[in-house]
Amino acid sequence: MNTERFLEKALLEMLKTRTVTQIFVVDLLKEVGICKATFYKHFCDKYDLLQRCFQNAYYGEVLAHAENFEQFVSLSLAAFRKSPKVVLHAMPPEDPSGLFVYHSELLCGFLRKECSVRESEERERLIRVYARTVTEVTVDWLSAPRLTAVEEVVRLVRALYPVGLSASSAAP
């Protein structure tokens, strides 16, 4: 296993008990037994590691199979369901560098491709607000004491679809 994989594994392990804001690079260095220079040779900061880690552990498979926004939501929820606490600890909404923002940006990408109205500031604002709302729904779902079916969350996400993003005013 290479250094990057050791760091990813260490971060995932730490996320079982702490949020990303409570984890410091020095913690990872101690856990893996490397020096600062080695860490920074591979990653810009802990958020760079976090994104790469989640890309490999969750998003890679999801993005490989999701053909549209709804499939992305459904597949990411199914992947996150395997370790909800780790995902929650990686997604504090108040952390502007964390996975919450990364997840929202991935959602925005799918929405931009599928949106049937022409580009405008209003369209971009709606996309960003909707993506953030869907990410918040995801976090709320993962926070629940008992997870409901993925299909129920997808139905809720579909119901929240902004009318202004569809030329025909219909949900995707």
- In-domain check, residue 134: yes
Instruction: Give the chain's radius of gyration (CA, Å).
Output: 17
pLDDT digit string, tens, across residues 89-146: 888 777 777 788 889 999 999 999 888 778 889 999 999 999 999 999 999 999 888 8
- In-domain check, residue 142: yes
CATH code of residue 127: 1.10.357.10
- In-domain check, residue 172: no
- In-domain check, residue 171: no
Cα within 13 Å of Cα(77), Cβ side: 27
Question: Is the full-model pTM beyond 0.85?
Answer: no
- In-domain check, residue 29: yes
82: containing domain: 3-165
**Cα four-point dihedral sign 3, 6, 42, 38:** negative
What is the C-alpha end-to-end distance of the chain, expressed in Å? 42
As a whole number, mean pLDDT of residues 23-40 equals 95
Nearest 5°: CA angle at 155, between 151 and 158? 135
Label each residue of 13-53 as H, E or C. Answer: HHCCCCCHHHCCHHHHHHHHCCCHHHHHHHCCCHHHHHHHH
Average pLDDT, the chain: 89
- In-domain check, residue 83: yes
- In-domain check, residue 138: yes
- In-domain check, residue 170: no
Which residue has tokens 């220079």?
A: 37
- The count of domains in the chain is 1
What three-state secondary structure class fits 169?
coil
